[in-house]
Amino acid sequence: MPRTHNTKNDPDRWLPPEMKRQLYAFLDWLQVHEYSPHTVRQRRYTIVFFITWADERGIARPDEVTPELIESYQRWMFHFRQENGKPLTAKARIARLSALRAWYGWLRRHKQITVDPTLDIEFPKEERRLPRNILTQSEVEQLIAQPDVKTPLGLRDRAMLETLYSTAMRRAELAQLRSHDLDAERQLIMIRCGKGKQDRMVPIGRRALDWVQAYLDNVRPELLINPRETALFLTPRGGPLDPQSLSDMVRKYVQQSGIRKRGGCHLFRHATATLMLENGADVRYVQALLGHADLRTTQIYTHVSITQLRKVHEQTHPAKPERPKEDGNESSS
């Protein structure tokens, strides 16, 4: 059993021994091959979800799983209801099946099984939902103005909000920025190991850069405790921020602003993509900025940015604007 999973208070001690052994070997392989901690946690959770279900049906070994059992599992997930009474979304079911297929693919490649029961999985059709809360340009400006820039942490927060808005980076990407990732002269930021372990270079606007520079000049030296710390944005203890604290910060300022829209750091990502498309940006440039591997993911925002479509509709639709005539005033034919 991999050392990283062998703890005194093992939360998985109730799992069937062979299932547990093969699961932990797979998780160890993911770590060795540089999969993100988030991916490893999600794979573990979703596979344990299946193992629990299979164990209740007398299945104790990976090689006892059949294609028919996988189909039964799919049907069960479709009818399953969570504690809040809601069903699993298609996205959640796809995640569970994808993790299962990855595990069984690994088992087959490592000759732990001879037949992969997940090969013929037919995945549910995933919903492509539009973002619920899109900030307008004035709402973004209202939100960004919330930090008290007369205080060190307020100035830091303003610099972070400006960076999120200008670059549309994810919260985890902001948290792991290093001082040397900023190229002030060329107005660029290097985002290292973004989603999918991909690096990308993105522009940062002059306004955001000015706020970051003010933070670097006036605040970061005060927060810095360990001279070897390279994180760009620091906590009062001198360490890097974690993604959850960034979301909590944004939610605090959203509430403080009075904007009646829910969300955290992704509010800026959604707003930037939508507003850039409304202002005429090519969707492929927005795709590069967001770091989307699939253009279809970016195209969601083309459905949200309705401004250009509305203008074209007004200019070209044959139904001309006309005031409704009052009853009794219609001319007789």
Q: Are residues 255 and 176 in the same domain?
A: yes
φ/ψ of 142, rounded to 5, equals -65, -40
156 and 232 co-located in one domain: yes
pLDDT at position 281 is 83
- My answer on whether 169 and 39 are in the same domain is no
* Distance in angstroms (rounded) separating the CA atoms of residues 34 and 239: 23
Q: Are 208 and 301 in a shared domain?
A: yes
Q: Are residues 194 and 78 in the same domain?
A: no
Beta strands in the chain (DSSP E): 182-183, 188-191, 200-203
Q: Are residues 155 and 242 in the same domain?
A: yes
Coil, strand, or helix at residue 60? coil
Confidence of residue 87 (pLDDT cuts 50, 70, 90): very high
Candidate list 156, 158, 269, 270, residue with the active-site label? 269
The sign of the dihedral angle between the CA atoms of 30, 33, 37, 39 is negative
> Is 295 a member of any domain?
yes
- Which domain-ending residue is among 90, 109, 128? 109
- Which residue of the set 20, 170, 171, 220 is catalytic? 170
Mean pLDDT of 300-310: 64
CATH number, position 68: 1.10.150
pTM more than 0.75:
no
- pLDDT of 189 > 60? The answer is yes
Write down the pLDDT at residue 192: 83
Has residue 119 got a pLDDT over 60? yes
pLDDT given at position 308 = 62
The chain-wide mean pLDDT, for the chain, equals 86
Query: Given a cut of 60, is residue 196 above it in pLDDT?
Result: no
Highest mean pLDDT among 51-55, 274-278, 317-321, 326-330: 51-55
C-alpha to C-alpha distances, 2 to 25, 220, 273, 283, nearest whole angstrom: 7, 40, 43, 45
Q: Based on the residue annotation, tell me whether 301 is a catalytic residue of this protein.
A: yes
62/149 same-domain check: no
pLDDT digits (tens, 9 = 90+) for 5-35: 444 566 678 899 999 999 999 999 999 988 8
Annotated catalytic residue within 21, 195, 251, 261: 195
Look up 270 and say whether it is catalytic.
no
Coil, strand, or helix at residue 295?
Answer: helix
One-letter amino acid at 308 equals Q
Known active-site residue 269: yes
Q: What are φ and ψ of residue 183, in 5° steps? A: -110, 90
| Residue 266 bears catalytic tag | yes
From 101, 108, 261, 266, active-site residue? 266
The answer to the question of residue 114 being in a domain is no
**pLDDT number for residue 285:** 85
Residue 260 falls inside a structural domain:
yes
Pairing verdict, β 200-203 and 182-183: unpaired
User: Domain range for residue 250?
Assistant: 137-313
Q: Is residue 306 part of a domain?
A: yes
- 211 and 70 in a single domain? The answer is no
Q: Considering 20, 44, 171, 292, which one is annotated as catalytic?
A: 292
- Greater confidence (71 vs 269) lies with 71
Number of domains in the chain: 2
Give 326's pLDDT tier (boundaries 50, 70, 90): low
Q: Is the pLDDT of residue 133 over 80?
A: no
Which residue reads 């307008």 in tokens?
A: 136
Task: Provide mean pLDDT across the span 150-162.
Answer: 97
27 and 73 share a domain?
A: yes
Structure tokens at 209: 């850069």
> Are residues 93 and 199 part of one domain?
no
Rounded Cα gap, residues 258 and 174, in angstroms: 25
| Band (331; pLDDT cuts 50, 70, 90) | very low
Co-location of 283 and 182 in the same domain:
yes
Residue 333 lies in a domain: no
Report the CATH number at residue 257: 1.10.443.10
Q: Residue 74 pLDDT > 80, yes or no? A: yes
252 & 305 share domain: yes
pLDDT of residue 319: 76
Look at residue 273 and tell me if it is in a domain. Answer: yes
- Domain boundary (63, 89, 109) is at 109
Alpha carbon 98 to its chain centroid, in Å, reads 17
